[in-house]
């Protein structure tokens, strides 16, 4: 018997057992009624839910993001996060920061001079977004296993804010951390299935990274060269 024949024979034997066939090819009692001789085994989860503590999630997320040259700045409160944002803008000499308008970004930028925040609207053209020194966006969820930010983008400018500015600042709370994507699927899936909601989710994992054939890593070729997550809580 050839190797091919042995493989096919094993497949036939396995299929026969699954469908209630005996070793001699006869139907078992369950097979005769169209049922299975045994219940199918449960499908094991690809990503088991271990439900780690918030502290463990923060540590995992921070370590994973740092591995891909991303940065995490911890803040105990919004006030502290606001100070960190101002320090970052002054350090990098950003005259202003472009921001997507939502509750989290409004709270973070409260108190900043009006000329230091440029609110991006649906009418903005890509060329205009590309002139911003940095962009400020809010995360829907944070995925600890890959150090990723899940960003809800309802319009093209919102999506381009994840890519075009050379630096990207993401604001998020500790209670938005989850183990992995399946852990947030119950939240994400209804929005994806809602035909009245336009847009998509973008998963941002660190700054843009690429390497040539000589394996020289270059940051910022296809997206932001710098990614900073302001983690509040």
Lowest average pLDDT, out of 27-31, 83-87, 102-106, 117-121, goes to 27-31
Closest CA to 70 of 182, 154, 170, 174: 170
**pLDDT tens for residues 142-191?**
999 999 999 999 999 999 999 999 999 999 999 999 999 999 988 888 88
Q: Quick check: is 3 in a domain?
A: no
Range of the domain at 224: 54-232
Q: Quick check: is 160 in a domain?
A: yes
Q: Quick check: is 163 in a domain?
A: yes
- Percent of the chain predicted with pLDDT > 90: 61
Q: d(Cα 53, Cα 232) in Å, to the nearest integer? A: 16
Predicted confidence (pLDDT) at residue 24 exceeds the cutoff of 60: no
Q: d(Cα 143, Cα 158) in Å, to the nearest integer? A: 20
**pLDDT tens for residues 205-217?**
988 878 777 777 7
Terminal CA-CA length for the chain: 66
Q: Quick check: is 15 in a domain?
A: no
What is the number of structural domains in the chain? 1
Instruction: Output the domain CATH number for residue 132.
Output: 3.40.50.10420
Q: Quick check: is 145 in a domain?
A: yes
Q: Quick check: is 85 in a domain?
A: yes
Q: Quick check: is 202 in a domain?
A: yes
Q: Quick check: is 31 in a domain?
A: no
Rounded to the nearest integer, the mean pLDDT of the chain is: 86
* Structural Rg of the chain based on CA atoms: 25
């Amino acid at each position: 018997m050839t190797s091919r024949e042995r493989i096919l024979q094993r497949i036939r034997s396995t299929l026969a057992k699954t469908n209630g066939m005996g070793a001699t090819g006869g139907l078992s009692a369950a097979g005769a009624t169209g049922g299975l001789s045994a219940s199918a085994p449960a499908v094991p989860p690809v990503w088991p839910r271990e439900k780690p503590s918030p502290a463990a999630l923060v540590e995992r997320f921070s370590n994973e993001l740092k591995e891909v040259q991303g940065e995490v700045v911890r803040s105990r409160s919004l006030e502290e996060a606001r100070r960190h944002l101002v320090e970052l803008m002054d350090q990098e000499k950003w005259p202003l920061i472009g921001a997507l308008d939502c509750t989290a970004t409004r709270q973070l930028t409260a108190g900043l001079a009006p000329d230091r925040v440029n609110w991006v609207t649906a009418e903005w053209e890509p060329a205009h977004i590309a002139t911003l020194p940095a962009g400020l966006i809010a995360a829907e969820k944070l995925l600890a296993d890959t150090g990723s930010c899940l960003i809800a983008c309802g319009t093209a400018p919102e999506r381009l804010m994840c890519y075009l500015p050379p630096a990207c600042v993401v604001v998020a709370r500790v209670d938005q951390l989850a183990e992995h994507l399946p852990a947030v699927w119950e939240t994400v899936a209804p929005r994806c299935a809602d035909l009245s909601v336009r847009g998509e989710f973008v998963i941002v994992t660190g700054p843009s990274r690429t390497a040539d054939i000589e394996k020289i890593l270059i940051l910022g070729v296809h997206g932001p060269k710098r990614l900073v997550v302001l983690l509040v809580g």
